[in-house]
Structure 1
């Protein structure tokens, strides 16, 4: 067994940097006892606990934001005090956008925007000179770090996203001179074997497009046809673009700085499964930003369990955060990113999130965003959040930093114990736990689900090579069943060719079939897009609950108070449903009561479906259904 090292002491890192180990090889990764770790040069393993933007601030925001000269006589004093604080709070790494000064001994991961500067995504990744161009740019961007032994590796970009439909629309609408347009055209032609009628079953072409040859023209357009399967082709193209990107940046960085880790593009609080699959073999570490799911610090397990199955490298959480409306910098927290009312709630939630992250065996690092609060007037892009460990006047948030120091100190032990953590096999009869209190499906909150671990049903399946795209939790009380679903689903809602209302068949939906003793009742909850009530040009999701007849006919259920979509924009899905006992054909539910159920969740445009239950035998129009699973209501 290798020794676990938690880099919390300045003397440890100073000794490492001054030793020959600093120049003998580089940082690495290792899997020990089932858990992933980073390693120092020389092989000693550690878990990276980082802070982003460990820098002196921005002079342009000096009047309303953090600026080092207002608090220190020189940069050496700033570096010494800042590093001492971070060590005291349990941090051991400088994350993205941090000062690379060698006056600090904290290891460093720079974000270098290699793809953007090499004109890869959104330009022409399949151009013949793409690798040559990327190598040249990589040599330029890594030059400032080549002699800095603290550099672990590089984030290649920030929040690329791999948004499927925008890539498809952009390159299809480009001119024929663009090599990636030609690549896409060939993919479309081959997918339909040159049969235009087959394409028309999946897509509605734009004006003037009546053949494959017409798609070679600039401004060519294809929209999804309701009921078709065009999203599968769009996902194939997304995977091809992502695979090309990861291949180019990996080969370029290994050519110019081979001892540094390639640490990914900081996925934006979401991941496209086909893009992650395409990255295999071209990453040393996969990095992802993450927006904590609920104010109590719950982290939805499907996200990291899915990454473990999709890729064979460790994951680094390159950005997570908690903000509070009560703050000293005047931040207004103007968006959906995690924020709570008080600094006390912030400290509790942030510390819980750290412990939850550390318990995933494929997570090898956690980086907090960010060292100081955003300016009181907001950043240049308008974002205005209390995300700092210190306020804009350089005063620490003592409750937060004390809570993080305690949680960070427990991380190595929690992570060492994570290696044997596995999902238990599905029992013959699934226990459904009783809710601690009646679920309120109209409060824009999941606070009434204190037992999130106990109510999760972790046995959903998706056809390989994909994995479940969300978690489903179920509980009960005497008045009925309750369910919530946390998931991710990017969808370009303008991509669908339609007149009138958005068809339920193309919406995100949860199908629920329950037999509580009065025969099977079939329901479907559809999340239907509608124009946003505040922001022109954007959508919000409205829940619509239906009873499903045996022939598939949908009958709306007056659902006031029965279903809600929490206020999170796509690609985030957070939906809650209360299903009264009377809708199940019984007066009340009770402990020990057996029932059978089957649950399916389907993403927009029917891209993927995850299922609890075994596939139904035979074919026919109900072949997509599943056989029910047995469950029992338990009073705990």
Structure 2
């Protein structure tokens, strides 16, 4: 089946699906709105006639508006099925992203649940399927999206004998939206329905069993692709930029020889070392990397390098995978098809030519920043502004009573915390302290700030942050009885004190005060390390994903720039201005969009229907950031598509690259990027909407 028409049906087949013999309705609508439905910032009505019949849901403006379904009694047993499906109709004139979540007891959006998102085109029915992440489903392991069936539900392995609820929700909508839902049903069998023809990965690291525009068929095609790209770059240089990518035709401010921030006419800007206004548009992970496991995958690949052959340099051994590599216990041999393709494309001098090509490509497309996690050697040579990062090292104690997707939160009151910051952050600062192209440094990434609310008091009595929090509460209340009265708790001792299930206003204020104190200590310690070793460059914060307000406030009080990873369709300026405005500028460390029409198995965190919509989404996002006065830039994650068999660390295999595994730019996306970037400084300095 053609990828162009086939893979686009993986996560959401664009047709109204009749019930099949192997399907089972779980929420019937024939007798009206189910009394087990719970509404969270939604209005619900039943449309019983016409082509758009079903449950009409008007989603309100809040973080997670949803319709939430529970079993009439007990729990559901969904053992015999592959996943949950719902038909969705979008009556609005634009595509809409919608999400589904399936819960075990204790689900919180990260733990004990599966969730998935898809995009519903305007004026059409779409079948949205979430395939369960189930125990023993490891024949095709290590991939978040699968051949033929597409994205799996992200999250924990579910106990399918004890499903407590499921919900359909929108993620932080900025306006109200309406969708019609119908045919809530289980589908498929517990075993995989679709057999994947083996091998399914070709010698270039592409999907072998399909075809699509731009698929590489032979090595001989590389020469023509090089010729075409070089000609395009030579024919159309980007104009009106200074040597740093700043606004050459704009005003000249004080030049300090280093990047800095300044607010001009109500808008935050970065300022280049020569004093020109600068808005940062970047790409993360620019480097010849991205390895995938090859051990434990017999029959998957039509070709793998010989151990002593010319491509053996790209075989590595990795251990300590974060997730999705349980069949090989998280360790084994990996290989980079992207690096192998660079050798095929450029020959023996592949590294040098890749650096030259990538730098020229980024400039041609209007990118003026090399984003986080990029290759240090490339950053040092490219003469393009860049950001860099470090992560805490050492053995500082973690908050034992807290969780976190990437790991538990460090305890900033532990005596080893300052040493961990020095060991983890000083190296990168020393490396680039004398380089004026270095904008500044991030410390850490997407750390578990949510754990600071309940984690300390859920930890053992000797946990340093627990001791600090209890001391703060003692200083305020004096004795436990007064605290119990204020919090409406009945703790028998300070050691027994926990955050109550229902938090009243007094408790909320106390928790926020400690969150701020904790975060302030974290940011001040990290800033001190960076400023000690690189005093002229900016401290860019911690790349918030989870972002409790007290922690964000502390970051804004300490860092030069506050950073967030914001996987939205667009930025809503009301969320970042007015009463929500921070006293420091904001930079976006990550965003992306993906689709399934180019041989990939997962769209990433913000799905699109195809490459054309992906291109439109990029332009809309950058426009929304550039026209919001609080922001000074946004960085796309990432430069190259992830391997179709999953990156070794956690199985991500998303279509999120500016280029594919053969180092070929996606024409729709890159052309859209060049167009919006060419209009960037006019957009930033005016209130008009810019080009579309």
After superposition, residues 445-484 of structure 1 pair within 5 angstroms as: none
Alpha-carbon offset, residue 88 of structure 1: 1.3
Which residue number corresponds to residue 190 of structure 2?
A: none
The verdict on how the C-alpha distance between 1:175 and 1:395 changes in structure 2, with shifts beyond 3 A counting, is same
Q: Distance in 1 between matches of 2:286 and 2:421?
A: 28
The TM-score with structure 2 as length reference comes to 0.52
Say if 1:59 and 1:131 are closer, same or farther in 2 by CA, change over 3 A: closer
TM-score (normalizing by structure 1)? 0.56
Alignment counterpart, residue 243 of structure 2, candidates 13, 16, 35: 13
Determine which of 275, 279, 282 is the counterpart of 1:47: 279
Distance 1:14 1:407, change over 3 A: closer
The CA distance in 1 between the partners of 2:538 and 2:572, in whole Å, is 27
**Greater mean alpha carbon deviation, residues 354-363 or residues 179-188:** 179-188
Match of 1:375 among 640, 643, 664: 643
Residue 227 of structure 1, CA deviation: 5.9
1:241 Cα deviation (Å)?
A: 1.2
2:130 maps to which residue? none
CA distance in 2, matches of 1:406, 1:291: 22
Structure 2 SS opposite 1:236: helix
| 2:266 alignment partner, one of 11, 17, 34 | 34
Partner of 2:426: 139
| 1:107 maps onto 2:385 in alignment | yes
Q: Which residue of 2 aligns with 1:125?
A: 412
**Partner residue, 1:590:** none
Residue 457 of structure 2 is matched in structure 1 by 172
Equivalent position of 2:438 in the other structure = 151
RMSD: 3.2
Query: Within 1, Cα distance between the matches of 2:266 and 2:356?
Result: 37
Partner secondary structure for residue 49 of structure 1 = strand
Query: What CA distance in whole angstroms lies between the structure 2 residues aligned with 1:135 and 1:369?
Result: 27
Which structure has the higher relative contact order (CA within 8 Å, separation 6+)? 2
Q: Distance in 2 between matches of 1:120 and 1:35?
A: 39
Cα deviation, residue 95, structure 1:
0.5
For 1:185 and 1:157, locate their aligned partners in 2 and report how far apart those are by CA, in whole Å: 27
Report the Cα distance in structure 2 between the residues aligned to 1:134 and 1:181, rounded to whole angstroms.
20
8 Å Cα contact 1:357-1:363 kept in structure 2 = yes
8 Å CA contact 1:344–1:399 kept in 2: the answer is: yes
Number of the residue aligned with 2:683:
414
Q: Does 1:196 align with 2:464?
A: no
Paired residue secondary structure (1:317): strand
Q: Partners of 2:618 and 2:274 in 1: how far apart?
A: 33
Are residues 1:85 and 2:355 paired? no
Partner-residue secondary structure (3-state), 2:622: helix
Give SS of 1:339's match. Answer: coil
For these two proteins, the number of residue pairs brought into alignment is 390
CA distance in 2 between partners of 1:361 and 1:14 (Å): 21
Q: How far apart, in 2, do the equivalents of 1:111 and 1:117 lie?
A: 19
> What is the rounded CA distance, in whole Å, between the counterparts of 1:290 and 1:153 in structure 2?
20
- 2 CA distance for matches of 1:378 and 1:145? 32
Aligned partners of 1:88 and 1:405 also within 8 Å? yes
Are 1:282 and 2:558 an aligned pair? yes
Query: C-alpha separation between the residues in 1 aligned to 2:343 and 2:470?
Result: 55
**C-alpha displacement of 1:119:** 6.4
1:303 matches 2:575: yes
Matched, 1:184 2:466: no
Distance (whole Å) between structure 2 residues aligned to residue 129 and residue 59 of structure 1: 33
TM-aligned CA distance change 1:200 to 1:104, over 3 Å: same
| Pair 351,133 (structure 1): closer, same or farther in 2 beyond 3 Å | closer
Q: Verify the 8 A CA contact 2:637 2:656 in the aligned structure 1.
A: yes
Counterpart residue number, 2:602 = 332
Q: Displacement of 1:134 after TM fit?
A: 3.0
Give the drift of 1:112.
1.0
Asked if structure 2 preserves the Cα contact closer than 8 Å seen for 1:9 and 1:87, the reply is no
**Cα distance, 1:407 vs. partner?**
0.7
Could you tell me how far apart the structure 2 residues matched to 1:118 and 1:195 are?
30
Distance in 2, Cα, partners of 1:116 & 1:410: 45
Shift, 1:228, TM fit: 6.7
SS in structure 2 of the partner of residue 287 of structure 1: strand
In the alignment, is the contact (CA less than 8 A) between 1:10 and 1:87 conserved in 2? Answer: no
Alignment map for 1:487-636 (pairs within 5 Å): none
2:292 and 2:646 in contact (8 A); partners too: no
Match of 1:346 among 606, 614, 620: 614
Offset of 1:352 from its aligned partner? Answer: 1.2
Note the residue ranges of structure 2 that are not aligned, 5 or more in a row.
1-236, 247-254, 294-313, 315-334, 400-408
Deviation per CA, 1:82-118, whole angstroms, max 9, x where unpaired?
Answer: 1111111110100011112222111110121147887
**1:242 alignment partner, one of 519, 524, 532:** 519
On the 8 A contact 1:115/1:249 being kept in 2, the answer is: no
State the Cα distance separating 1:11 from its structure 2 match. Answer: 9.3
Give the Cα separation in 1 of the matches to 2:505 and 2:555: 28
Change (3 A) 1:222 1:362: closer
Cα 1:90–1:42 change in 2 (3 A) is closer
Pair 1:252-2:529 in alignment: yes
User: Matched residues in 2 for 1:390 and 1:318: separation?
Assistant: 19
Contact 1:36–1:364 (8 Å) recurs in 2: yes
> 1:135 touches 1:256 (CA, 8 Å); kept in 2?
no
Q: Deviations over 1:474-504 (max 9, x none)?
A: xxxxxxxxxxxxxxxxxxxxxxxxxxxxxxx
Q: Which runs of 5+ in 1 are unaligned?
A: 1-6, 17-22, 422-636
Against the structure 1 CA distance between its residues 35 and 118, is the aligned structure 2 distance closer, same or farther, given a 3 Å change threshold? farther
Equivalent-residue separation in structure 1 for 2:395 and 2:361 (angstroms): 34
Separation (CA, whole Å) in 2 of partners of 1:304 and 1:116: 35
CA shift in 2, pair 1:305/1:236, >3 Å:
same
- Give the stretch that moved more between structures: 232-241 or 368-377: 232-241
Post-superposition shift, 1:288?
0.9
Aligned counterpart in structure 1 of residue 666 of structure 2, from 394, 397, 412: 397
What SS does the corresponding residue of 1:284 show, helix, strand or coil?
coil
**Aligned 8 A contact 2:268 2:630 in 1:** yes
Structure 1 residues 117 and 365 mapped into 2: Cα distance closer, same or farther (>3 Å)? farther
Whether contact under 8 Å (1:246, 1:283) holds in the other structure is yes
Cα shift at 1:373: 0.9
* Aligned partner of residue 364 in structure 1, secondary structure: strand
Residue 492 of structure 2 corresponds to which residue in structure 1?
210
